[in-house]
Amino acid sequence: MKLVAGNSNPKLAEQVSDYLEKPLTKTSVRRFADQEIFVEILENVRGEDVFVLQSTSYPANDNLMELLIITDALRRSSAKRITAVLPYFGYARQDRRSQGRTPISAKLVANLITNAGVDRVLTLDLHAGQIQGFFDIPTDNLFAAPVFVRDIKERYVTDNVVIVSPDVGGVVRARALAKRIDAPLAIVDKRRERPGESEVMNIIGSVDGRDCILVDDIVDSGGTLCNAADALLAQGAKSVTAYATHGVLTGGAIARITASKLKEMVFTNSIQPTEDFENSPKLRWISIAPLIGEAISRTAAEQSVSSLFI
């Protein structure tokens, strides 16, 4: 087995390498003057089972192109099997035609990855489950829920916790987490007036005097969760904390979260935390390296990955 890391999240790659006790394969990824990407694999990978760790996060297009070129280099170097490990799968929010004359970019990206020569995909908390079907190759969608459950149990008295979905679309995700800690479920009913803005309308469920934990997969502007926190506290919630898998955090998201009424917002390191993230008193990350590492180990050994979440 060989581990190859792109440049999107080198810290996570190092943590996965440490977990597996496997060194990262030496590679050279550099750019020409016009920003064309050049990749050279500096070790023999002929006949090897290769795992490429690369999130397609910001800058999304550069990181995606880097993944495709690394894959092509490995395929032409006679790697036996190439597995793309995508802790964060970019373009996942473009999973359907929201209006006329628009693309389904998630499907296009899935085609690009497949045609580049990837044999299998490992990813984490896809924005929509049907994206698995966009790939014509085996695709394992891992879940951050076990990592969140462990952290919640360490920090809260679960008898007083209520899990909250920030919108109707996230109910399945929130219900699964609530079931794991035997907690009740509440739902924030919101209406989005225009892209990037949200308005909280109503709270479904009892939150009075409870520690509320909002659960989401992707946080971009942070407006939805900050508005949800205001609504929950107005309904008598004792505290509001948010857990989300992918911290995209564009624009003024970090400043918005820091100034909000949220007690804390917790992310995985599927996207490498920035310096501003690290300096915010309300932002914290927990590592998914053991989860990713174990999934890689089981895939290489042809063992069950789904049993990680039973």
- Domain residue limits at 273: 145-287
Please tell me whether residues 130 and 160 are part of one structural domain.
no
Q: Tell me if 151 is assigned to a ligand binding site.
A: no
Q: How many domains does the chain have?
A: 2
The type of residue at 153 is: K
Is residue 282 classed as helix, strand or coil in its secondary structure? coil
Q: What CATH number does the domain containing 187 carry?
A: 3.40.50.2020
Backbone angles phi, psi at 85, to 5 degrees: -100, 105
Same domain, 84 and 172: no
pLDDT tens across 232-246, in order?
999 999 999 999 999
* Same domain for 83 and 39: yes
Question: Whole-angstrom Cα distance, residue 201 to residue 53?
Answer: 40
Q: What pLDDT tens digit does each residue of the chain (310 aa) get?
A: 999 999 999 999 999 999 999 999 999 999 999 999 999 999 999 999 999 999 999 999 999 999 999 999 999 999 999 999 999 999 999 999 988 999 999 999 999 999 999 999 999 999 988 999 999 999 999 999 999 999 999 999 999 999 999 988 899 999 999 999 999 999 998 766 666 565 667 899 999 999 999 999 999 999 989 999 999 999 999 999 999 999 999 999 999 999 999 999 999 999 999 999 999 999 999 999 999 999 999 999 999 999 998 7
**Predicted TM-score (pTM) of this structure:** 0.93
Paired tokens of 66: 């880097």
Do residue 151 and residue 122 come from a single domain? no
From edge to edge, which strands make up the β-sheet containing 185-191? Answer: 199-204, 185-191, 161-165, 211-219, 239-247, 264-268, 283-286
Q: Is 127 a known ligand-binding residue?
A: yes
* Alpha carbon distance 78, 9 (integer Å): 25
Residues 80 and 119 in one domain: yes
- Whether 246 has a binding-site annotation, put simply, is no
Q: Is 90 helix (H, G, I), strand (E, B) or coil?
A: coil
Q: What is the DSSP string of 1-39?
A: -EEEE-SS-HHHHHHHHHHHT-PBPPEEEEE-TT--EEE
**Exactly one of 2, 26, 107, 190 is catalytic; which is it?**
190
Distance between CA atoms of residues 246 and 110, nearest Å: 19
Percent above pLDDT 70 for the chain: 97
Q: What is the pLDDT of residues 126-172, one digit of tens each?
A: 998 899 999 999 999 999 999 999 999 999 999 999 999 998 889 99
Phi, psi for 268 (deg, rounded to 5): -85, 170
Catalytic site residue 190?
Answer: yes
- Collapsed DSSP state (helix, strand, coil) of residue 257: helix
- Do 94 and 217 fall into the same domain? no
- Output the average pLDDT for the chain: 95
Query: Contact, 257 vs 282, CB < 8 A?
Result: yes
